[in-house]
Amino acid sequence: MVKQRGIELGFDLIGIAPAQQPLTYRYYEQWLSLKFHGEMGYMERRREERKDVRNLLPDAKAVIVGAVNYFVPNEHLPETPEPRGKVARYAWGTDYHEVLLRKLEALLDYLRALLGDWVKGKAYVDTGPILERDFAVQAGLGWFGKNTCLINPKLGSYLLLGELIVNVPLAADPPFVRSHCGKCVRCIEACPTGALVAPHQLDAKRCISYLTIELKGSIPRELRPLIGTWVFGCDICQEVCPWNRKAKPTKEEAFKPRPWASLELIRLLELSEDEFRELFRHSPLKRAKRWGLIRNACVALGNLREVRAVPLLVQLLHNDPNPIVREHAAWALGKIATEEAIRELRKALEAESNETVRQEILLSLNEVR
């Protein structure tokens, strides 16, 4: 009855795992010890809580795991002659945290209506200290792909997960015990930055999703050309996965493309703080913050050698209060390397007081001589 109600609420997959220590916890600790989490300090801060979901709900008996397919075909994006920044599919629609959390809370309300007010539960959508893919495997929803994504044999890997930890002794589903990746390494070979250092092992510090979202500083110079035109997240390892060849479009209206699914790169450079907050109010892209999206747009426009962006890049170089934005604007101008771009880089070098930005300007000028 619980699983049926979950499907009625809009989950494409739903399963039940026992409330216990996640089986992959030691691999998570190894991943941390290798420093693959980069600046994601939250991955380490609550590591003890991740050891067992009963640390989150002491009398927990079961973990209900729901998955929603978010795949939308590329042709559903609006066409435009303007250069666009790529956004990961999961962020094309309304913020998935909001969407899945409502479904999980409705499921908890159903359990309470069915069994009584003694039912307790905690819902998590990608924000709490829970190894959610581990519980998804234990709930029978799929296996760990070599790209570290959960893969379901019918739906592929374009899945968003949510968990409801409850004190109700629900019967657990059989775990998914077999990997179906075989000898395939397409995801590993396709990753432009080499973030997949081995099957099932991701060095987040090199991942385009990390670089464009989680990284709060400068994108390493050697990785900027490899990012292409991604401005928020990345789908490459999923796009090449054979299990996604027959991916079915999502039934969830909230995940259909919104205006932020395809962003004009030059327009991004002009965004004010107020415009940013208004445009991305219900979007996952708000996590990147205005300066982060502009930083990413500078890299994308530099990779495109987009001459039309020079006047706006010059404005950012001279006037933006954030030195990270000025640094990446300088890099982009160095890649575009028109006479105006080079002239403005030289002018900025005389006025710039931030040493990191000055070094970027010098490097960019040296590369075009």
Instruction: Give me the active site residues, please.
Output: 126
Query: What type of residue is 339?
Result: E
* Distances 202 to 48, 148, 327 between C-alpha atoms, Å: 22, 7, 28
For the beta carbon of residue 42, count every other beta carbon within 10 angstroms.
11
Q: Which residues pair with 202 in a beta bridge?
A: 196
Q: Which tokens go with 36? A: 């693959």
By CB neighbour count within 10 A (0-12 exposed, 13-18 middle, 19+ buried), where does 346 fall?
exposed
Question: What DSSP character marks residue 206?
Answer: G
- 3 state SS of 55: helix
Q: How far apart are CA 117 and CA 112, in angstroms?
A: 5
Q: Which tokens go with 94? A: 């309304």
Q: Which residues pair with 87 in a beta bridge?
A: 232
By CB neighbour count within 10 A (0-12 exposed, 13-18 middle, 19+ buried), where does 189 fall?
exposed
